[in-house]
Structure 1
């Protein structure tokens, strides 16, 4: 499903808090958005991507290292991919529409909103002078890599964990959020973490590191679903006993379902980055400059407090690490 951001009004902003409650009603009813095919104007062709030098392979000690913005953090606004986006008039982004708090559709205004969306709005504002130039492509977790490799979108911000394996296929911005995998269980459950779920059916989205990590817990029966929201529906129908995912996602589910709770210590480190096609290093540098500004000027903390305050006081933003170079394998 593709949505182009319309100009906002004061009324839309005023009803967002009420929308969180309404969003919960929609999910409890089992309603999910069905992505519609779209072919936005690409910034590059798949052939060009194949011919471009592959980014330097990440090691597990430097996987969050990205491409430095430029001298004194300057944005590289004149390079080809950023310029192509300007000429098109919109920034095409892959997002979730059903991950409450990170990226979900407000049922009152119809807008997609959340912490991930705030980061993308900052990039839109840097390029166009307004946050209203986002063209949304609603995707599943399993589609995140393909839409970038096929140049169907410019950026992906969808609770996208930076991993060594993914660096072999795409590029990432610097880390903009640090999450961790936990579990959601019924409110009356005595489980205090995933170690207490032997024999339980635990749901996670297919094609994610989340479901792959369940293999480390042989007593757990992994149940795959297309999205986290479908996991929530299965959970509410009693077809699975728990859901595992990043604490940001599970916090949104707990806000929607008063009979569920998030338990346990994180069993992983999940550094989130904005995904970019591997051959668009200039765009990565530009995004990194924007993220550095957002972290430094207070917008990151404001967004955290607005959307993720249930996780506690806003921490310091993740440090941006640089030093990655293009051209080596």
Structure 2
């Protein structure tokens, strides 16, 4: 049965203006910049050589990572030493996920919680938080750029799961999110179960889209990016968007005629993606994350970017015990 969508009386009047802003953001996001200059894709000679065998395929807990073994010291011949020799850390990021990784239309810089975590890793590696080369990617490209050796790290609301551990490695968990739904402000829906017969958007290549298959009465609509879902929503081509609460909070900030409803119906532990063979890099990143979690940096970043979700919780506990 198809549910007729009730539109807010002001929706048609504001759609064109808001959509224009979103399209502008999407056009900016389509660039491939750094903070200061374009980001070339590293060539084979620039990409650090793998330092260990890929992790075992077995996975009892996707949040279990490799324990730091040398803090943030850099030894000759390591992945980190090769990156230092190159002079910059090449990272895959979003440029259209407000609050997590998006381009500031006034400054042109990519900013957000994920981006600031990468700045901390750059600070530990170079003594300079800005030695980052950004490669703007979609959710569906996250695995490809890591398995293809095109980036050193991916920080893009990247949920850790056992299937992904088959292809790449993850840092320890650095943020916990949960899947919710966004609807129009005048919608009577109170959660995902109230959306039977309606069209719900999620980005391609995400656990969010996969989880919609558990709701056969919902018509799942895939878009290339989160911004693509927001554009479809504002055009009236989908009735709702589902995604991590961190992402949906950014949508509400862009569209005052939208709201997030219901309790989270999944747990989404975020990790930094790393090429599977670069276990030494995983250990280094985990040392940086542990320091940020204990010295107040993590809490300060949460308050800066995600305070709209409520007071900062305790940082996620790092879980170690994985072996190469």
Whole-Å separation in 1 of the counterparts to 2:69 and 2:317: 17
Q: Which residue of 1 aligns with 2:30?
A: 34
1:114 Cα shift? 0.4
Cα distance in 1, alignment partners of residues 243 and 40 from structure 2: 28
Q: How has the CA–CA distance of structure 1 residues 122 and 30 changed in structure 2, closer, same or farther, with 3 Å as cutoff?
A: closer
Cα deviation, 1:219-258, whole Å, max 9, x if unaligned, reads 1000011001000000000000000110000000001100
1:55 paired to 2:51: no
Alignment check: 8 A CA contact 1:95 1:137 kept: yes
1:25: Cα distance to partner?
A: 6.8
Q: 2:47 aligns with which of 43, 56, 59?
A: 43
Q: Which runs of 5+ in 1 are unaligned?
A: 1-22
Q: CA deviation at 1:205?
A: 0.6
Cα pair 1:30 1:230 within 8 Å, conserved? no
Structure 2 vs 1, CA of residues 30 and 177 (structure 1 numbering), >3 Å: closer, same or farther?
closer
Query: TM-score, structure 2 length as denominator?
Result: 0.88
Aligned equivalent of 1:128 = 126
Aligned with residue 187 of structure 1, among 185, 188, 193: 185
Partner SS state of residue 264, structure 2: coil
C-alpha distance after superposition, 1:63-100 (max 9, x if no partner): 101000016xx224115210011011100000000000
Q: Equivalent residue for 1:64? A: 63
Counterpart contact for 2:19–2:234, Cα < 8 Å: no
- Moved beyond 6 Å, runs of 4+: none
Secondary structure of the corresponding residue to residue 306 of structure 1: helix
Deviation readout 1:122-165 (Å, 9 max, x if unpaired):
00000111111010000000000010011100000000000000
Distance 2:53 2:125 in 1: 26
Q: What is the TM-score when the length of structure 1 is the normalising length? A: 0.87
Cα distance, 1:57 vs structure 2: 2.8
CA contact (8 A) 1:76 1:282 kept: no
Once residues 265 and 218 of structure 2 are traced to their aligned partners in structure 1, the CA distance between those partners, rounded to angstroms, is 14
- 3-state SS of paired residue (1:265): coil
Paired residue total: 298
Matched residue, 1:306: 304
Corresponding residue for residue 322 of structure 2 = 324
Q: Cα RMSD between the aligned structures?
A: 1.9
Residue 244 of structure 1: which of 242, 245, 258 is its match?
242
Q: 1:93 to 1:29 in 2, by over 3 A?
A: closer
2:287 and 2:269 mapped to 1: Cα distance? 18
